[in-house]
Structure 1
Amino acid sequence: MTTYHAVPASPGRYGLAEGPVQDEATETLTWVDIVAGEVHQGRLSRGVVETERRVQVDSMVGAALPSADGRVLVAGLERLWVLHPDGSIDRGPRVLPPGTGRRLNDAACDPEGRLVVGTLSLSGSSTTESLLRVEDDGSLTVLDEDLAQSNGLAWSADGTTLYSVDTIPGHVWARDYDARTGRTGPRRLHLRVEGYADGIGTDTDGNVWVAVWGAGRVLCHAPDGSLLHTVEVAAPHSSSLAFVGPELRTLLLTTASVELDEAQLARYPDSGRLFVAEVEATGVPATPWNGRLPSSPFGRQEH
């Protein structure tokens, strides 16, 4: 097993940095600070992420997914938003009813560029959180509705397997996925992670990389579930990851400073920063948002 050590890569520290994604055409990085309700964009240069834009979007934001034309689809507290290159923001349709004590969480675009997004409870423990796909016609397809906390999402290199996280039990699920038709197979348990599984990514060898909240590390598991690599992070709340750089061989990690007491912050002063690690793996590139978004409220469609 190989152990890598991530190093801090951002001057600033965030409350809850999450959801890093790289635009392959421009190598622009997009990430969010969930608790600040902010979308950030920048570039990685000589081991440092230089921030170029910061936009306040909502009271909380779960994810931000760029499109090929420079727009960014943002999963806010309960609804979607569209951030334009000039900094203007359009209000998108509501996904969650108001006042349910839930919010949108981690999200990703499937191989056809459709948004897949999960939910989490803001009002205590839950067993009814959802994983949803936003269809181009404005409907919602329910992929799961029995989760404790929907989190990280990633696809295999050929796009035929969707991996999804349920954080509280530490489950990484897998299911067959046909992006063209939208059909999915029954989910199956791919990994059971000790601790709180959070953001995930995949590489071209079929391995799944999992950020473990509270553990300060990322674990890389082979297709058979065996542990191949560990990335140590000097911040307990390692939240998510993305493969970035021109060859997708740099692992960009987000971390959080929330939920740490004064003693923990003193011990881990880089908590909340972005980190990078050079790894012996090539990541699967993120699919950009396809740019399609209905303006009317969604109707719900059971899968």
Structure 2
Amino acid sequence: MSREVRRFEARAASADAYLLGEGPVWDAARERLLWVDIDAGQVLEGRLVGDSVRVDRGHEFGETVGAVVCDRDGGLLVAGRRGLLAVKGGDEPGRPSGAGDSSGNGAGGERAYLVDLVPEGKDSRLNDGACDPAGRFLVGSLALDDRHGQECLYRYETDGTVTAVDTDLALSNGLAWSPDLSTMYSVDSVPGTIWARAYDAVTGAYGERRVLLEISDGTPDGLCADVDGNLWIAIWGAGQVRCHSPEGEHLATVEVAAPNVTSVAFVGPRLDTLLITSARTGMTREETARHPDAGRVFLADVGTRGLPTSYWSGPVSG
């Protein structure tokens, strides 16, 4: 007998609305939020201030930015349109990143282009990414033309080499790992599939994919896991985040006042607040009028805690 689905409601928390907000990350050492506006080519740094999200700094890249993660020194690894870039860190733990930069638009630290991932001549861009528990960076791609089933999930190894984990995806998206680190979850948005596979965080060995869940009433986008191993999945087109058990059972729904919900992360010192990003790109004027909070960052209290962010452990220069 299935359990009753719990219901929650998110609250808008950012002053600004973003074109395609994505990929939230909680940097515990600096109590810092990171996320991207893909279409604006921007990485945002901010923090929680009471019940709101405040932006401290923005990094402009002049191209789409699919994802951002950070290393233990506060440096950033950024998925640009086709490859990866590093932004040198150096902020002191506990000091708000960008403190003293009143513009909120600082260029940040020294930058280095690390590696191309999308092959020359392939009309694709990099999309969502995350670090595995050992600090390797995984990032997927999506097609910018009408190709189907040729997109990749890449893994940037700590020695600077690249592994193609998957090469047959339609639109690679969210990534998460189970609390015991033995299972990796990944999203292929176009078919609406959440995959699960065995994963060895120490060696990096991984098993064959299996279908955990298929979603047809909306498009699964980003996701994260909580301390109980449940998955919180952003559903583009449905205005919801849905929680599913490791067996796929629907446990909870978070209603969001934005139809295109993009990603989720547990944030805050206790990792007990669910942060939700959304998008307004592609919406008509009428749709935007009906959903004025579309594109904003949202927060929700859902009665559980998330898992600590894994820091990037790879190279900081090309």
Identity of aligned residues (%): 48
Query: Which residue of 49, 65, 80 maps to 2:53?
Result: 49
Contact between 1:256 and 1:272, CA under 8 Å: does it hold in 2?
A: yes
Aligned to 1:154: 176
1:168-179 matches, within 5 Å, as 168-179=190-201
User: Residue by residue, what CA displacement relative to the aligned partner does 1:233-259 show, whole Å, maximum 9, x if unpaired?
Assistant: 000010000000111110000000101
In 1, the alpha carbon distance for the partners of 2:86 and 2:18 equals 22
Count residues in correspondence: 295
Aligned to 2:226: 203
Q: Does 1:111 align with 2:127?
A: no
1:20-99 matches, within 5 Å, as 20-85=24-89, 86-99=108-121
In 1, the alpha carbon distance for the partners of 2:113 and 2:167 equals 26
TM-score, normalised relative to structure 2: 0.90
User: Residue by residue, what CA displacement relative to the aligned partner does 1:57-82 show, whole Å, maximum 9, x if unpaired?
Assistant: 24100001011101000000001111
Q: Which amino acid aligns with 1:101?
A: D
In 2, the alpha carbon distance for the partners of 1:70 and 1:294 equals 15
User: Residue by residue, what CA displacement relative to the aligned partner does 1:66-122 show, whole Å, maximum 9, x if unpaired?
Assistant: 111010000000011112244332222211223411011100000110100100001
Structure 1 unmatched ranges of 5 or more: 296-303
Contact between 1:138 and 1:293, CA under 8 Å: does it hold in 2?
A: no
Aligned to 1:299: none
Query: Which residue of 214, 228, 245 maps to 2:237?
Result: 214
Contact between 2:13 and 2:51, CA under 8 Å: does it hold in 1?
A: yes
Aligned to 1:301: none
Structure 2 unmatched ranges of 5 or more: 90-107
TM-score, normalised relative to structure 1: 0.95
Q: Which amino acid aligns with 1:90?
A: A
Q: CA deviation at 1:139?
A: 2.2
Contact between 2:117 and 2:154, CA under 8 Å: does it hold in 1?
A: no
Q: Does 1:14 align with 2:36?
A: no
Contact between 2:45 and 2:58, CA under 8 Å: does it hold in 1?
A: yes
Aligned to 1:245: 268
In 2, the alpha carbon distance for the partners of 1:124 and 1:48 equals 39
Aligned to 2:313: 290
Aligned to 2:203: 181
Query: Which residue of 279, 293, 301 maps to 1:270?
Result: 293
Q: Secondary structure at the match of 1:29?
A: strand
In 1, the alpha carbon distance for the partners of 2:274 and 2:237 equals 19
Q: CA deviation at 1:153?
A: 0.3
In 1, the alpha carbon distance for the partners of 2:197 and 2:299 equals 30
In 2, the alpha carbon distance for the partners of 1:286 and 1:192 equals 26
In 2, the alpha carbon distance for the partners of 1:162 and 1:269 equals 35
Aligned to 2:92: none
Q: Secondary structure at the match of 1:31?
A: strand
In 2, the alpha carbon distance for the partners of 1:268 and 1:97 equals 38
In 1, the alpha carbon distance for the partners of 2:24 and 2:225 equals 14
Contact between 1:55 and 1:87, CA under 8 Å: does it hold in 2?
A: no
In 1, the alpha carbon distance for the partners of 2:276 and 2:219 equals 16
In 1, the alpha carbon distance for the partners of 2:159 and 2:275 equals 34
Aligned to 2:188: 166
